[in-house]
């Protein structure tokens, strides 16, 4: 079936209309005419994959990755980096205008490099081959390398023959000193080749989350703050953009603020914040991350930050100190409805919402809009060439809104 693409949806798919039904076409660009193969059909929409570009867009280029259309990760691999930023900005503008009637310009901060930026990847292993799952499936797509992964990670992938297992997963992450943490997930016995540790700067190797070489953690140094990061703890995937976000977030706070940091992880925001404000109270569900955060506070000689393990909505009432501002950095699923209820009930002076999924940011803000208004909104290209965008929204308590006692 032939389609004329009008614009992109938030997933980076082309949008066209056929017999009154909206059609989403993967790997298509605005102003293109394409032939599409049907992937899924529902009552109100259909999803296609572009199989032939009849009339290409003026911004279309040859993809830098031979696996891009198969694994589905880098949806903008067939445009220049500058044009990918423009497309993302248009996607955001359309989303916020449609859902929130937000008319202000949304600036987007570019990455310092568009390839080789990821400090962590999770690679599948099937029959001795490396690969990813195809988007929204468990179809295995073999790859030879991943161009958005750090060069240190790419070099390690070249030595995959030094690993002795045939099926499972390989989780690789690096720190700011280019040391490597490995976690091998497999049901097979694993033998660590001596050449692996001799040829690469390995800090630690775990098998099924049990450390068998070195340590199950390493240290990150971001903006003069040291972080101990356990192999299972979350940390920002793009060091450069993470530092940009951190600098901007710190500008929202004053010396007298008492700040809750929801979903604090290992203390990425909590610790630099503690150097600027009166008190920081971090809350995180992952016990290992909380152990790291507590250790990191001591490591950096920070005494005005405390960390609490559990779900935000379950333990905040057990914390005796009351904050006037909240920093939230939730997973892609966004805020739990109980957290939104909590934010509405407490009516904090400000909420700084860091989002890796603007769709859930929009959803959550609709629940908060009666009590808070968006003062500023900025996007950051944390994941170049992918459909993902990081956003930071500053929400102020609306005037004449009284906190319930």
Query: What pLDDT score was predicted for residue 69?
Result: 84
Are 156 and 147 in contact by the 8 Å Cβ rule? The answer is: no
The answer to whether the pTM exceeds 0.75 is: yes
Q: What percentage of the chain's residues is helix, strand, coil (to nearest 5)?
A: 25, 35, 40
CATH 3.40.50.150 location in the chain? 219-397
| Distance in angstroms between the alpha carbons of the first and the last residue of the chain | 61
Query: What pLDDT score was predicted for residue 403?
Result: 59
Quote the tokens at residue 210: 């049990």
CA atoms within 13 A on the CB side of 274: 24
∠ CA 344-350-351, rounded to 5° = 70
CATH 2.40.50.140 location in the chain? 1-60
Quote the tokens at residue 15: 């949008």
Domain at 219-397: CATH architecture: 3-Layer(aba) Sandwich (3.40)
Q: Give the phi and the psi of residue 69 in degrees, each rounded to 5.
A: -70, -15
Please list the active-site residues: 356, 390
Helices (H), 54-180: 68-71, 81-100, 151-158
Judge: domain 120-215, CATH 2.40.50.1070.
Answer: yes
Are 264 and 405 in contact by the 8 Å Cβ rule? The answer is: no
CATH 2.40.50.1070 location in the chain? 120-215
∠ CA 386-66-23, rounded to 5° = 55
Domain at 1-60: CATH architecture: Beta Barrel (2.40)
Max CA-CA distance within the chain? 67
Query: What pLDDT score was predicted for residue 159?
Result: 93
Walk along the chain (405 residues) and give the pLDDT tens digit of each residue: 899 999 999 889 999 998 889 999 999 999 999 999 999 999 899 999 999 999 999 999 999 999 988 888 899 999 999 999 999 999 999 999 999 999 999 999 999 999 999 999 999 999 999 999 987 788 999 999 999 999 999 999 999 989 889 999 999 999 999 999 999 999 999 988 899 999 999 999 999 999 999 999 999 999 899 999 998 888 999 999 999 999 999 999 999 999 999 999 999 999 999 999 999 999 999 998 999 999 999 999 999 999 999 998 888 888 878 899 999 999 999 999 999 999 999 999 999 999 999 999 999 999 999 999 999 999 999 999 999 999 999 999 998 766 555
Q: Give the phi and the psi of residue 242 in degrees, each rounded to 5.
A: -60, -40
Quote the tokens at residue 13: 């798919």
């Amino acid at each position: 079936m032939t389609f004329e693409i009008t614009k992109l949806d938030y997933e980076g798919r082309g949008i066209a209309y056929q017999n009154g039904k909206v059609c989403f076409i993967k790997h298509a660009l605005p102003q293109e005419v394409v032939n599409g193969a049907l992937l899924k059909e529902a009552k109100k929409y259909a999803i296609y994959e572009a199989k032939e570009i009849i009339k290409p867009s003026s911004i279309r280029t040859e993809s830098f990755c031979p696996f891009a259309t198969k694994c589905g990760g880098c949806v903008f691999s067939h445009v220049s980096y500058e044009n990918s930023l423009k497309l993302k900005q248009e996607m955001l503008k359309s989303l916020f205008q449609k859902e929130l009637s937000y008319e202000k310009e949304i600036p987007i901060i570019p990455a310092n490099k568009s390839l080789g930026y990821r400090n962590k990847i999770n690679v599948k292993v099937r029959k001795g081959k490396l690969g990813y799952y195809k988007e929204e499936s468990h179809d295995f797509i073999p790859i030879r390398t991943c161009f958005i992964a750090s060069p240190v990670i790419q070099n390690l992938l070249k030595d995959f023959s030094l690993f002795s297992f045939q099926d499972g997963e390989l989780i690789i992450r690096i720190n700011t000193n280019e040391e490597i943490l490995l976690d091998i997930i497999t049901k097979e016995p694993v033998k660590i080749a001596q050449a692996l540790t001799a040829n690469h700067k390995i800090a630690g190797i775990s098998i099924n989350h049990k450390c068998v070489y070195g340590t199950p953690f390493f240290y990150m140094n971001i903006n003069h703050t040291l972080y101990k990061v356990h192999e299972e703890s979350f940390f920002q995937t793009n060091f450069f953009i993470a530092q940009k976000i951190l600098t901007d977030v710190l500008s929202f706070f004053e010396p007298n603020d008492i700040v809750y940091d929801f979903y604090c992880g290992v203390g990425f925001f909590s610790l630099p914040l503690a150097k600027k404000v009166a008190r920081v109270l971090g809350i995180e569900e992952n016990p290992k991350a909380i152990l790291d955060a507590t250790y990191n506070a001591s490591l950096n000689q920070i005494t005005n930050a405390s960390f609490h393990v559990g779900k935000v909505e379950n333990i905040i009432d057990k914390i005796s100190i009351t904050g006037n501002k909240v920093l939230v950095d939730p997973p892609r699923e966004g805020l739990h409805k109980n957290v939104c209820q909590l934010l509405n009930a407490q009516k904090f002076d400000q909420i700084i919402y860091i989002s890796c999924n603007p769709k859930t940011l929009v959803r959550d803000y609709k629940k908060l809009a009666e009590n808070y208004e968006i003062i500023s909104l900025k996007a950051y290209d944390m994941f170049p060439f992918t459909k993902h965008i990081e956003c930071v929204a500053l929400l102020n308590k609306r005037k004449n809104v009284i906190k319930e006692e």
